Amino acid sequence: MEDSFQEYWNKSKKEIFRLSLPALTYSGAEKLRYGEYQKTGKVPVDKELSDWFASLAALKQKGVILHRLQVIKFPIPPFTLFELRQLRLFKENGEDVLGLENQKFIRFCNGKDVKDFWLFDNSKVLLPVYDENGLWLGHKEASDDDASYLLELKKRLMGQAKPIENFLTN
């Protein structure tokens, strides 16, 4: 599987959009951060997060904005609360982070099975690919029909999204 993510990231001129659904699994550095968070109540900034923040700074310097729309299930489970607090750090480091209730998301999808995706300059859509255990393998390009649908869905969802702070009480 060819992964064009870095190519599209680097070529973006104006906007990158990320739809992020509630995590089903977590592994690697995020699993370690979550363990530390459970002990301290604070999201630790490790090398992976530091690298992400550097990527965000480089985007900002190019004049590219990264919009992330996080779909949130209620009641909010402990791992999702960790994710939301981590997203607060993303926002502090340049991402435009918004949230949307899962029930609204489902209604907007009209029965279509929509997963996470990345949209680059409102033209190219990459879909993450996972193995049967939920381990991330890379990305694949969406078909033209799927890309058109996801672009329209993005517009509808962003009209209903709220600042991520609305979902955090502390």
pLDDT at 3: 63
pLDDT band at 1 (very low <50, low <70, confident <90, very high): very low
Backbone angles phi and psi of 2, in degrees to 5? -85, 135
Q: What is the pLDDT of residues 124-161, one digit of tens each?
A: 999 988 888 777 788 999 999 999 999 999 999 999 99
pLDDT at 13 over 80: yes
| Encoded tokens for 74 | 């209620």
Q: What is the pLDDT of residues 65-112, one digit of tens each?
A: 999 999 999 998 888 889 999 999 999 999 999 999 999 999 999 889
Which CATH number does the domain housing residue 86 bear?
A: 3.30.870
Q: Are strands 96-101 and 65-72 parallel, antiparallel or unpaired?
A: parallel
Query: Looking at the 3D structure of the chain, how many domains does it have?
Result: 1
Contacts of 155 (CB under 8 A, 6+ apart): none
> Could you tell me the residue range of the domain that residue 142 belongs to?
5-167
